A and B are shown apart, each in its own frame.
Chain A
Amino acid sequence: MNWILRTMDKMRPTFSKGGKLGWLHSTYDAFETFAAVPATTTSGKVHIKDCVDIKRVMIVVVMALMPAFCFGMWNTGDQHAMAFGLQWGFWMKVWYGFYRILPLILVSYIVGLGIEFAVAQARGHEVNEGYLVTGFLIPLIMPIDVPLWVLALAVAFAVIFGKEIFGGTGMNIWNPALLARAFVFFAYPSTITGDTVWIGGLGKHADQVVDGFSGATPLAQLADTGTCPDFMQMFIGNIPGSFGETSTIAILLGAVLLLWTGVASWKIMVSCVAGAIAVGTLAVGFDASLTHLVMGGFAFGAVFMATDPVSSAQTETGKWIYGFLIGAMCIILRLFNPGYREGMMLAILLMNTMAPLIDWCVVRKNIRRREKRAVAK
């Protein structure tokens, strides 16, 4: 394995400042630190450091997304087969899903990482690994039929205006992946709303669809007809929807990993569910509120989006409030907003905006306590 280190030693001068390709310094550095943990040693008074780093944190999230991703591949194929009356086997369905999602992932990573590398290069920074997760999240929350150029635009918008103008990963206000989705939602609504976008090929070949097949998401069915698929089917996720959001059980598998490793906050997840149930129970009753947990993007949002450590509340008390309000807001939007059936994306983006305010209130209490202590004597 040492040949990798030796090769890197040989290549480094070319990519260092003053070398032939010195202008690619950050890019080279990104690949080198990806391949091997650098030899930097501590320089302050703390001489030893924990071996966990942001790369590790991010790769855990990517792994947590795998169950939802794998299920999404099968479900995309299955929905397509159902819509067009095809008799496909399991692997054929998976292959179809893979074949359809691959371009989305490639576009997401190529455009997003391209911008990240360019910005890091211009600033002379190291490349942040945050986009490893964002770039994987974005295809998972898009309808499979989203045009690639729309996706590319959305990714560029999210990375530039959601992240880089604030200073990169760790400085952003909104979750960049959701911002990409919101961009598509507002700029190209026809590609992400309606009953025909959720199943591969449905928009283009509507004439070949099996009679009586609608392609509407359960949320839309519920709003339009008052009925929806049964709870178990939605829980398993064999329903139309964005690529990775449909299967609550696959998402829960990811949630287990995130909570076990402590990467995501359990407080946000728990309070998010509590908020949804609380408002749902008041509005439509307890049982109906439970169905909302397995419909649409609620589970995916609660597990992977709301818990984004950067855009969520930073204080532990704040996390309870933040999560609760996301759950509550999501159900309010779903129930009382006639135009749009899904509420999770906007609920999270709204609470991302509010998170600093929540934290401000929590931190304010700490400051007061300190001031009171000074006055007390």
Chain B
Amino acid sequence: METIRLHKGLDLRLKGEAQKKVLQTLEAEVVSVKPSDYRNMVPKLLVAEGDAVKAGQFVFQDKKRPQIGFSSPVSGVVKAIVRGEKRKLLAVEIASDKETQYVQFEPLSVSKASRQEIQKVLLESGLWACIIQRPYGIIANPEDTPKAVVISAFNSAPLAADINFSLKNDADAMQLAVDALAKFTSGKVYVNLSAENGNGSPLNLLRNVEKTMFKGPHPTGNVGVQINHLCPIGKGEVVWTVQPQALAAIGRLLSKGIYDVSRMVAVAGPRALDPGYVKCVPGTPMSFFMKAAGVLEDEKLYGQEVGVRYVSGNPLCGENVGADGSLGFYDDTVTFLTEGNYRELFGWAKPFRMKKFSTSRSYFSWLAPKKKYEADTNVNGGERAFIVSDVYGKVLPMDIYPVYLLKAILAGDIEKMEQFGIYEVIGEDFALCEYVDPSKIEIQKIVDQGIDLMLKEMA
């Protein structure tokens, strides 16, 4: 097995990592399906309040690509349809049954089934949404034949779920899924393992795939970074990516004929009292995770009351969903962070800031490389223009000039964006660039803005 070593990047050590144990919890009563989980998708609602739905039944579909639908993960009754400004659909809330009723699809024998048959059941069940294409990180186009399917078998982001634990019993289901996906691509199915603990990964058991070890700090686990080293994407090329927990769901669909997207979710973060794992479906409300892990409510930083931020995802790439929000479709981590809404007197001028981590040697956190930090959401400064030029490249292990790409995006120059590699990146790959940036620029937003522009221009 080949090992690819990446030297650029940064492993952040944060307090509140999820312990490898399953937390006891009650069933979630209401589950929501949110259009905002899916990039570049305009929803068309298919259910009304009071309708009974089964798990695997469409709740809404994509107006632009009606064959792609989005299913309810549970069975129950549509309790509410939540709309925002201009009647924008925000969420469909479903009061879930005690016992889940599934829409029964026909199980397939993967070795015999054709691409068309597999595609049909993936589309009909709503599991197609699990397949994400690069460029742009949007749901794959069923008509495409990707040049490769790339699967990252590990999360390298801080506090993210450990797939070796969360999917340890799902190797068989994942095997079915990779065999099925192999029928879609003209190239190979790549499975990328962590050099640190990849041998113990359930994905290490997969056969008929091209396995590669990746060694190095975050973002080595980001599939975009791996693609950049295995099969870089040029203009007109498409690579598909699927997350491991989605592989398991695809496997279950193919073998049992049910839409079962339940997964082990890591509940982590410095404000979680008892961080661990829970089994649940996407759309599960934050209150469920709060009950499971417990939230440290009252905390003071620098003498000031600070709240809690509820993030669906990890601290470097997640959605701030609030206490009333719910788990995103693609997420397997929930993080309870400390809101940084405090003011720190002469913070930037202090010689030491023991509570804070910095990559800069103008602070002294490099003296304690093993120390874990209680990161909070304070920006730690004001937004400025790009000033320091060498910090971004140090945390982006890709053959890309980050600042040039970002400036091309800001200028809206499509040709330059292409030249600088917009096809190869999505926001999460730039998360660390934003983390280390002393100018406090919202880099991930700029990348997203660039991708939106590309989608608009290419449509």
Contact = CB atoms under 8 A, between A and B. Distances in A.
B358 interface: yes
B440 A49 contact: yes
Contacts of A44: 434, 442, 444-445
Interface stretch (B59-67, B109-117, B382-390): B382-390
Given A36-B345, A170-B384, A260-B361, A49 B434 contact: yes
Contact of B378 (A1, A41, A55, A367): A41
Interface stretch (B73-81, B280-288, B315-323): B315-323
A57 B438 contact: yes
Interface string A158-201: 00000000011111000000000000000000000000000000
A47 B377 contact: yes
A56 B360 CA distance: 10
A37 B315 contact: no
B316 A38 contact: no
A261 B358 contact: no
A49 B377 CA distance: 7
B337 interface: yes
Contact of A51 (B236, B315, B343, B380): B380
A282 interface: no
Contact of A45 (B232, B319, B360, B362): B319
B343 A38 contact: yes
A53 B382 contact: yes
B323 to A, nearest CB: 15
A27 interface: no
Contact of B377 (A48, A312, A367): A48
Contact of B438 (A5, A52, A377): A52
Contacts of B341: 39, 41
B40 to A, nearest CB: 16
A164 B445 CA distance: 26
B346 A53 contact: no
A370 B340 CA distance: 41
A290 B343 CA distance: 50
Interface in A1-37: 1-2, 4-5, 33, 35-37
A169 B387 contact: yes
Interface string B336-373: 01011111111111000100111111110000000000
B381 interface: yes
A171 B335 CA distance: 37
A105 B316 CA distance: 43
A263 interface: yes
Nearest to A168: B385
B435 interface: yes
Interface centre among A37, A265, A315, A316 (most CB of B within 10 A): A37
Contact of A53 (B357, B380, B444): B380
A323 to B, nearest CB: 13
A5 B304 CA distance: 11
* Chain A facing B: main interface SS: loop
Interface in A128-159: 128, 130
Interface centre among B320, B337, B388 (most CB of A within 10 A): B388
Given A39-B342, A367-B420, A51 B353 contact: yes
Interface string A106-148: 0000000000000000000010101000000000000000000
A309 B385 CA distance: 12
Contacts of A335: none
Given A47-B315, A54-B384, A54-B439, A366 B399 contact: yes
A50 interface: yes
A195 B316 CA distance: 59
A309 B383 CA distance: 17
B377 A37 contact: no
B378 A316 contact: no
A316 B360 CA distance: 18
B381 A55 contact: yes
Nearest to B309: A47
Contact of B358 (A37, A52, A54): A52
A38 B345 contact: no
A45 B317 contact: yes
A57 B379 CA distance: 16
A87 interface: no
Contacts of B440: 49, 53
A47 B399 contact: no
23 contacts: A36-B343, A40-B378, A40-B382, A43-B320, A45-B316, A46-B443, A46-B444, A49-B434, A51-B358, A51-B363, A52-B359, A52-B362, A52-B380, A53-B348, A53-B381, A54-B439, A55-B349, A56-B362, A57-B388, A262-B390, A309-B389, A366-B400, A374-B237
Interface of A: 1-2, 4-5, 33, 35-57, 59-60, 126, 128, 130, 167-171, 260-263, 265, 309-310, 312, 314-316, 363, 366-367, 369-371, 373-374, 377
Interface of B: 12, 14, 232, 234-237, 303, 309, 311, 313, 315-320, 335, 337, 339-349, 353, 356-363, 375-390, 393, 399-401, 403-404, 419-421, 427-428, 431, 434-440, 442-445
Closest 4 CB pairs of A and B: A53-B381, A170-B385, A374-B234, A37-B347
Given A48-B376, A56-B360, A260-B361, 9 more contacts: A35-B346, A36-B344, A46-B315, A46-B435, A48-B316, A169-B384, A170-B384, A310-B389, A370-B232
